[in-house]
Structure 1
């Protein structure tokens, strides 16, 4: 039974994603602050924050195979238990558990995002898939409206009791939305979990212009997002350049608004749209460029939140929707995982590399390098060869 993108059952799925990612929104702000307070260097903080998506990258293609083999519903049931275990471990051990918790979060998120995106693609009509992907993406960033601000308020109080109580609640809320959810319970016939299938998928990925082009652009974009996610709150708090809660709130408002109001403008026909991608990447360049000059622009630093929010909102769902159409249907579970691994790799590289840049140079240098990455991505988007039409029906032989 195909559903409407805004049906009650689909809203339940979006609610599940919202509460799951609320924990990430809170901990992404708290972890760097807590680590810095305990004397951990910027480089080590970058490694710790990047570890999350690095683990995601490694597991993403296998996650797709496991979802196909055991069904979206079954995988979601067990990964939500793992999510609860990771959060409760942090509540129990505190700062000593940061590395372990980040790794566990990476494992769970690799399966969660794969299961949700495959589930959304399966239960919606093709013509509604772009809207569904945008609404799912919106639900993953909706916690940005309140998560970081809530985390900063609780952190400023100097008492971890209320923060730990919030994390405990977030360990169990997603399970409530999972009950009676419309997630597909069907298994893919003859689904396997082998290295042979992985290598075959990689061969198709290398020969698929659309998949490679999307992955490279996503790699660059995610590197920017990863660096900003890891260090922007810490930059604002430690330098006093701006109010971190206000900046993150403005950015989150833009992300949520863009994904909702522009959801119908996301191409949902399987065709590459270089002009649209250029506009999105251009927004990122302006946002990070303003941050690079933040000491001299005063209150205009908040303008960068608008442009960074637009880029964050539109790049991921646009490329994911495109990929869901152009990869071979029979291997979509694996190849979607290969594509999403490029996002994870970029996000983790952003944390890894930008931490060293901040430690040995400055925050402004980090933001300038982010802008340069955006320029390179636009150049590749405009001048790389176009997708071969016949690859849309390719198969792994």
Structure 2
């Protein structure tokens, strides 16, 4: 029986995602500060932070196959155990575990997000899928309202005990929301886990112009988001201008508000909407351009939180919803994984590559580079004008 996107059982799924990503929102702020405090250079911090999404990128296509083979419910059960293990490892080893924890987080998140999005696709009606994806995306960014501010508050207290207690609680909260969740338990009898199927799916992906273009836009957009996530707190601390907690709070408010109030406006018809996506990319360009001008505009920097928040809120659910329609049903698990891998690769590159620009040039130049990337994505977006809304179904042979 199909669910309503705002039913009690679906709200339970969104709650599961919210508490899972609360841990990520806290540690994403703490890890760069803790690493810098222990003498790690910006380039290495970028690599360490980018490792998370790089691992996601490598495992995402495999995750789709595993979910199909073993069911969303079964995969999620073991993922949450792994999530708890990663956080407990950080509590035990502290700063010495940063690389290991980021790798473990990447492993778990690759499967978690795939399981959640496939689950939403299966339990909602087609016409509600856009709303469901928007609500899931909302639940993943809702921790941005309180996670970074709480993390910075505990960090500046100078006592790690309270921070570690918070991390310990976040290791187990998601398990409570998992119990009696509506996650599907069905398996696909013909699901496999082979390199042959992977390469065949990549061949299919190249035949879909819509999949190629949307993956390119997602790759570039995610690299911008990754750079902001990895270096904005350090940028504010280094320049001594602005308040990172306030900025991230304002950005999170915009993200949450946009994904909730505009959820019905996210295209859910399987068509490519270049003008809609262009508006999202222009918002990103304005936001990063303002960040590059931080030394000159001072307190006006908080305006950029609005533009970056809109871009962050709308790009991911818009492209993910589009892809959920255009990929063939028979290969949905694999091709959705390949598409989401483009987001992971972009996000990881945002930390890994931009870290070198920060270390050898400046933060301002790094954000200016992000603006240039936004322009490239904007132009690339319009190459998809001729994408057919009803892309033919291509079977893997």
Number of residue pairs matched by the alignment = 397
Offset, 1:80: 0.3
Offset, 1:35: 0.1
1:190 and 2:190 correspond:
yes
Q: Is the 8 A contact 2:209 2:384 kept in 1?
A: no
The separation in 2 between residues aligned to 1:121 and 1:102, in whole angstroms, is 28
- Structure 1's consecutive aligned runs of 4 or more residues displaced over 3 angstroms after TM superposition are none
Q: Is the 8 A contact 1:325 1:392 kept in 2?
A: no
Offset, 1:395: 1.9
The separation in 2 between residues aligned to 1:8 and 1:100, in whole angstroms, is 36
Equivalent position of 2:285 in the other structure: 285
Offset, 1:389: 4.7
Offset, 1:82: 0.2
Unaligned 5+ runs, structure 1: none
1:214 and 2:204 correspond:
no
The separation in 2 between residues aligned to 1:373 and 1:256, in whole angstroms, is 25
The separation in 1 between residues aligned to 2:52 and 2:335, in whole angstroms, is 21
Q: Is the 8 A contact 2:270 2:389 kept in 1?
A: no
The separation in 2 between residues aligned to 1:302 and 1:197, in whole angstroms, is 47
**Offset from partner CA, 1:326-374 (integer Å, 9 cap, x none):** 0001110000000000000000001001100000000000000000000
The separation in 2 between residues aligned to 1:113 and 1:316, in whole angstroms, is 12
The separation in 1 between residues aligned to 2:177 and 2:384, in whole angstroms, is 43
Equivalent position of 2:260 in the other structure: 260
Equivalent position of 2:308 in the other structure: 308
The separation in 1 between residues aligned to 2:15 and 2:390, in whole angstroms, is 38
The separation in 2 between residues aligned to 1:392 and 1:233, in whole angstroms, is 45
What aligned pairs does 1:1-397 form with structure 2 within 5 A after superposition?
1-384=1-384, 386-389=386-389, 391-397=391-397
The separation in 2 between residues aligned to 1:68 and 1:384, in whole angstroms, is 30
Q: Is the 8 A contact 1:210 1:386 kept in 2?
A: no
TM-score (norm 1): 0.99
Secondary structure class of the residue paired with 2:221: helix
The separation in 1 between residues aligned to 2:46 and 2:77, in whole angstroms, is 31
CA 127–242 in structure 1, closer or farther in 2 if over 3 Å, else same: same
376-385 or 176-185: which moved more? Answer: 376-385
Offset, 1:382: 1.2
CA RMSD of aligned residues (A): 0.8
Unaligned 5+ runs, structure 2: none
Q: Is the 8 A contact 2:274 2:384 kept in 1?
A: no
Offset, 1:386: 2.6
Q: Is the 8 A contact 1:209 1:386 kept in 2?
A: no
